[in-house]
Amino acid sequence: MAESRSVRCFFALGGNLGPVLDVFGSVLTDVLPSRGISVEHVSSFYRTRAVTLEGADVQPDYWNAVTQVSCRQSAQELLAELLAIEDQFGRTRTSRWGPRTLDLDLLGYGECVIESPALRVPHPRLGERAFVLAPLSEIAPGWVVPGIGVAVRTLWNRLDCASDDILEKRAAALGV
């Protein structure tokens, strides 16, 4: 059942196959609003090296971003929407951490901590990934991550990452 009030949520966008930045633009300006999800803030777009499993084939670099949205869907309904959007843009799930046209990860849903087989919020690896923390710290540095109790800015500052983790940063000129 949908929430009766608007909830502030964060999710990450990623991809490394096809016209990724065009896909991000379509998702943020057309698809989300058409599904009743209001885009409030969008980070810059960050190009990073692909994270792969040991022994996996080399992949193209990823593009990543984070958006803050407002929605009335429950967390489970929002997750279903995000998975449907991935499918709409040709996402196939052949291997963990494999290449993809679009990846949408729910990072935070209001102030909720959710632990279920289908959904974990906040995202369990949120504090370990430069490609999530860099864009998230750009749009919500003071957000205290539920269940962790630490602000995003602090998590980013604590992250021990190499200077080459972020290969490129582009402003998101979407008008949102």
Question: 30 lies in a domain?
Answer: yes
Question: 2 lies in a domain?
Answer: no
Question: 176 lies in a domain?
Answer: no
- Each residue of 40-72: b (16+ CB within 10 Å) or e? eebbbbbbbbbeeeeeeeebeebbbbbbbbebe
Question: 137 lies in a domain?
Answer: yes
Q: How many domains does the chain have?
A: 1
**pLDDT value of residue 125:** 87
Q: With beta carbons less than 8 A apart as the criterion, state whether 106 and 66 touch.
A: no
Question: 11 lies in a domain?
Answer: yes
Q: List, in order, residues 6 or more apart from 87 with CB less than 8 Å away.
A: none
Question: 49 lies in a domain?
Answer: yes
**pLDDT value of residue 71:** 97
Q: Can you tell me the distance from the alpha carbon of 82 to that of 104, in angstroms, rounded to the nearest whole number? A: 6
Q: With beta carbons less than 8 A apart as the criterion, state whether 66 and 11 touch.
A: yes
Question: 130 lies in a domain?
Answer: yes
Q: Which residues are catalytic?
A: 91, 100, 103, 105
Question: 175 lies in a domain?
Answer: no
Q: What is the CATH number of the domain that holds 147?
A: 3.30.70.560
pTM given for the model: 0.89
Could you read off the pLDDT tens digit of each residue along the chain, which spans 176 residues? 455 689 999 999 999 999 999 999 999 999 999 999 999 999 999 998 887 666 566 788 999 999 999 999 999 999 999 999 999 998 776 666 678 899 999 999 999 999 999 999 998 888 888 889 999 999 999 999 999 999 999 999 888 765 457 788 888 766 55
What count of residues does the chain have? 176
**Which residues span the domain enclosing 20?**
7-170
